[in-house]
């Protein structure tokens, strides 16, 4: 019986160490994962959709990690390689920070952005909050505009566009 207890304790310690190593390898901040949305990436969706109905904004970060009393969003771009974060990824991450603030009542101190070989902890500040709200307002205004020209000249991006079939400005 004693050997069974020792084996169970040993297995528990091994799993704990393996989990900590996996967390570090994934680029997650130290803390407890309280939500994840990695569907299509070998995991099941287990975190609720974050909604700020009065802003018309909703989303689900790849991970939510509890760090102390705060919840921190983590966005993973596993195939992206860049020396610095893309602006669109920063806006997405700060939008998740805003959603966590709206749904929990507590602003996260930062959000974490993970690329293939880099990780950034991006501070969530009043300025970044204002920027996200500005982008949301700009997007909402564009939705109501009668004519919004395409904003790029990248054929690959155009081919991957979800509304290409309805676009009269699609690139060849």
DSSP track, the chain: -HHHHHHHHHHHHHHHHHHHHHHHHTTPPSSEEEEE--TTTTS---SPPEEEGGGTEEE--SEEEEETTEEEEEEE-TT---SS--HHHHHHHHHHHHHHHHHHSS--SEEEEE-SS-EEEEE--HHHHHHHHHHHHHHHHHHH-S--------HHHHHT-TTGGG-TT---
**Residue 52 covered by a domain:** yes
pLDDT at 150: 67
pLDDT at 163: 77
pLDDT at 29: 75
**Residue 96 covered by a domain:** yes
The domain of 113 spans: 31-146
**Residue 71 covered by a domain:** yes
pTM, two decimals, is 0.71
**Residue 15 covered by a domain:** no
pLDDT at 152: 66
From first to last of its 172 residues, the chain has per-residue pLDDT tens of 555 444 444 444 433 334 444 445 566 777 777 777 765 545 554 677 899 999 989 999 999 999 888 899 999 999 999 999 999 999 999 999 999 999 999 999 999 999 999 999 999 999 999 999 999 998 888 887 777 666 667 777 788 787 777 787 777 6
**Residue 131 covered by a domain:** yes
pLDDT at 172: 63
Total of domains in the chain: 1
């Amino acid at each position: 019986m004693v050997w069974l207890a020792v084996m169970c304790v040993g297995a528990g310690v091994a799993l704990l160490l393996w989990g900590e190593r996996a967390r570090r390898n994934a680029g997650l901040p130290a803390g407890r994962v309280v939500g994840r949305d990695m569907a299509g990436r070998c995991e099941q969706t287990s975190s609720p959709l974050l909604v700020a109905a009065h802003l018309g904004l909703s989303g689900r970060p790849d991970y939510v990690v509890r760090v102390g009393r705060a919840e921190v969003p983590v966005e993973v771009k596993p195939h992206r390689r860049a020396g610095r974060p893309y602006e669109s990824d920063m806006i997405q991450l700060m939008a998740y920070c805003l959603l966590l603030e709206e749904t929990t009542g507590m602003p996260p101190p930062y959000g974490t952005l993970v690329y293939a070989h880099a990780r950034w902890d991006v501070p969530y500040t009043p300025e970044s909050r204002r920027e996200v709200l500005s982008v949301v307002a700009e997007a909402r205004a564009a939705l109501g505009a009668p004519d919004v020209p395409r904003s790029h000249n990248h054929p690959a991006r155009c081919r991957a566009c979800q509304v290409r079939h309805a676009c009269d400005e699609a690139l060849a």
